[in-house]
């Protein structure tokens, strides 16, 4: 089953797609307002796909049900990981990429993006995806199930370009988790474009400007 999603096209007949995953407790509407600030009129036609995560109980929030890509079992988010939930969400991401192919946008023209939990899924899913992707954008996040990354990563995406950005004052996903993930991925040979900003668990105008430049390079390639 394909996840429901908010979809927006910048021009008719999109030739590229960006699949953007939201953070814990948000939904697909969360990052849609960023498009006018992010997109350049010189870019080719783009389809933005903002899927809604399934609703599930989240342990750290007292078991309350909310949209989440996987369960968070404690304040140390990188330990006691919900590997089953992560893998289920990666499979749902793969299905969204396959649908773009069916709609005329091959994987190499698909860019994955995500914030916080959503960023974790696009990192884990991007390096494992069987077909070459256009790139990954990972904001205020970390690489989950990192222990199996080296064994499970895809040869097709061995040189996957990755934009990683983090707030130095992030108390939700500490920047140290982000830098550890960056270093692990760099050690495996991935070209990481790393950015740090003096902000909390959020997105800044400077970050959007940097991402716009990076995306412009990918879309022009």
Q: How many of the other CB atoms lie within 10 Å of CB of 12?
A: 6
Active site residue: 16, 22, 166, 201, which one? 201
Active site residue: 27, 30, 71, 170, which one? 170
DSSP track, 78-110: TSS--HHHHHHHHHHHHHHHHHHHHTT--GGGE
Active site residue: 89, 116, 140, 181, which one? 116
Angle between helix 117-128 and 175-187 (nearest 10): 10
Task: List Cβ neighbours of 144 (8 Å cut-off, separation of 6 or more).
Answer: 70, 78, 81, 83, 86, 120, 121, 123, 124
Q: Determine whether 30 is an active site residue.
A: no
Q: Determine whether 40 is an active site residue.
A: no
CA angle 60, 63, 68 (to 5 degrees): 75
Two tokens, residue 158: 């061995």
Element housing 140 (H / E):
none
Q: Determine whether 196 is an active site residue.
A: no
Catalytic residues: 116, 170, 201
């Amino acid at each position: 089953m394909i996840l429901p999603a908010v979809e927006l096209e910048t021009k008719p007949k999109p030739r590229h797609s960006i699949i953007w995953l939201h953070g814990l407790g948000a939904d697909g509407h969360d990052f849609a307002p960023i498009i006018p600030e992010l997109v350049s009129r010189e870019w080719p036609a783009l389809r933005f796909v903002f899927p809604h995560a399934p609703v599930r109980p989240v342990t750290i929030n007292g078991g309350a049900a909310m949209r989440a890509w996987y369960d968070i079992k404690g304040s140390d988010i990188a330990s006691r990981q919900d590997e089953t939930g992560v893998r289920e969400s990666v499979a749902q991401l793969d299905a969204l990429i396959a649908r773009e192919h069916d709609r005329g946008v091959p994987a190499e023209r698909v860019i994955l993006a995500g914030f916080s939990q959503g960023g974790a899924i696009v990192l884990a899913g991007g390096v494992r995806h069987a077909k070459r992707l256009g790139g990954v954008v990972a904001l205020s996040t970390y690489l989950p199930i990192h222990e199996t990354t080296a064994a499970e990563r895809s040869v097709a995406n061995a040189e996957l370009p990755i934009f990683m950005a983090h707030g130095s004052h992030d108390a939700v996903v500490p920047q140290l988790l982000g830098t550890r993930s960056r270093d692990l991925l760099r050690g495996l040979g991935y070209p990481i474009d790393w950015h740090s900003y003096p902000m909390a668990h959020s997105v800044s105008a400077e970050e959007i400007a940097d991402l716009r430049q990076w995306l412009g390079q990918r879309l022009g390639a």
